[in-house]
Structure 1
Amino acid sequence: MELEATVLAGEHVRLEPLTHDHHDGLCEAIRDGELWNLQVTLVPHPRDVRAFVDDALAARHAGTQLAYATIDLATGRIAGSTRFMAINLPNRRLEIGFTFLGRTWQRTAVNTEAKLLMLTHAFETLGMNRVEFLTDVRNRASRAAITRLGATHEGILSRHMIMRDGWIRDTAVYSITNLDWPDAKNDLTTRVQQPRAAD
């Protein structure tokens, strides 16, 4: 099975496979909140977005990642980016990560529905058994958002990554399995239908 670069669309958001056509809009989203200054995540500086897209396209060609531009349907603007990564089709598992949103779209239905679309695609189209989420243990907002997706905290990977500032990061690991998915889907669908669903 190959992972196709498929557009995923809902009522609030459309996920388009990332290309250089998204460059300028992605830079604008990153400037909204100066996301590159966040210490607990990895967001490229606007001057590095071209290389960021190049790397994403290379990973897609290698079959290990599939990056998306996150499009806010209400405005037509690019809100950020997210991706399938660590794709392991023989063992039917993958990770959803490298997610960032401009400040305007944080804690809105945009991220909630994006995750609903990606999880639905992972479990119901690709037949995954497991979807993982990894984040810096210091990133309380990210950890809370992952928990709200219905993911289970499985533990900490100690001294797992070296961040740009030299900090040696401990990584929190979460998962949703195909057995968890029906309940998680019902909850996420309800939250997306609320006027302002928290991510």
Structure 2
Amino acid sequence: MNIPTLENNRVKLSPLSLDNYTHLTKISQQENLVQYSPSKIDTPEDLKAYVQTALDWYNNNTALPFIVFDKQTNSYAGTSRYMNINWHNSVLEIGATWIGREFQGTGLNKNMKFLMLQYAFETLKFDKVEFRVDERNMASRKAVEKVGGTFEGLLRKNVLMLDGFRRNTCCFGVLNTEWSGIKSKIFNGF
């Protein structure tokens, strides 16, 4: 499957590739940008390896990675992807999302999530979208709740972090049957 381009008047999500990832080099070097992730992106080599992993998952039909362009500031802002795609069970996860600090709290993430949820439910016809967030990451947990994610439970010590810490992961979900209500209530006017 080809990676689509998703776009509205605020944001453009385009296929992430080895040809465009360098637009994110400066952002990826922001201190503690992905402190709650098991990924390392703060050097050009680490960022390239991160993108290559996303592309490997894409080639295995389990991910669709995006580069995020903020139309309001006319600049690249970060990445997100569909991942852990389970075609048989019609479930996917939206994750590996990070945007520079200057874009956080501006409404960019809400626009990104709207486009991704809309495409997952209305075009791909998936039954469920999941989000998995480090228990300690209160900002991301609140962001997922703001876009309609329902807390479904906690996976205890299931992810090994770079510093050797084993994190607990909060699981959130949105069902296809909930999408029309979420779309009209939370994303009214998008």
2:42 paired residue among 41, 45, 59 = 45
**Alpha-carbon distance in structure 1 between the residues aligned to 2:13 and 2:122:** 17
**Alpha-carbon distance in structure 2 between the residues aligned to 1:34 and 1:46:** 11
The 5-angstrom pairing of residues 19-168 of structure 1 reads: 19-31=17-29, 33-36=30-33, 38-41=34-37, 42=39, 44-47=41-44, 48-168=46-166
CA 1:35–1:14: 2 relative to 1, 3 Å: farther
Report the Cα offset of residue 43 of structure 1.
5.0
SS in 1 for 2:92: strand
What corresponds to 2:14 in structure 1?
16
**Alpha-carbon distance in structure 1 between the residues aligned to 2:71 and 2:43:** 23
Aligned residues of 2:40 and 2:47 also touching (Cα < 8 A)? no
**Residue type at the aligned position of 1:69:** I
**Alpha-carbon distance in structure 1 between the residues aligned to 2:183 and 2:2:** 22
**Alpha-carbon distance in structure 2 between the residues aligned to 1:88 and 1:24:** 30
**Alpha-carbon distance in structure 2 between the residues aligned to 1:43 and 1:176:** 28
User: RMSD of aligned C-alpha atoms?
Assistant: 1.5
1:173 paired residue among 171, 174, 178 = 171
**Identical-residue share of aligned pairs (%):** 36
Residues paired across the two proteins, number: 188
Report the Cα offset of residue 187 of structure 1.
3.0
Structure 1 segments unaligned to the other structure (5+ residues): 194-199
| Higher relative helix content | 1
**Residue type at the aligned position of 1:142:** S
SS in 2 for 1:176: strand
Report the Cα offset of residue 58 of structure 1.
1.1
- Deviations 1:98-118, CA, capped at 9 Å, x for gaps: 000001100112111100000
Aligned residues of 2:40 and 2:50 also touching (Cα < 8 A)? no
**Residue type at the aligned position of 1:45:** D
**Alpha-carbon distance in structure 1 between the residues aligned to 2:12 and 2:90:** 24
**Alpha-carbon distance in structure 2 between the residues aligned to 1:175 and 1:85:** 14
- Deviations 1:54-77, CA, capped at 9 Å, x for gaps: 111111111011110000112331
Matched, 1:183 2:181: yes
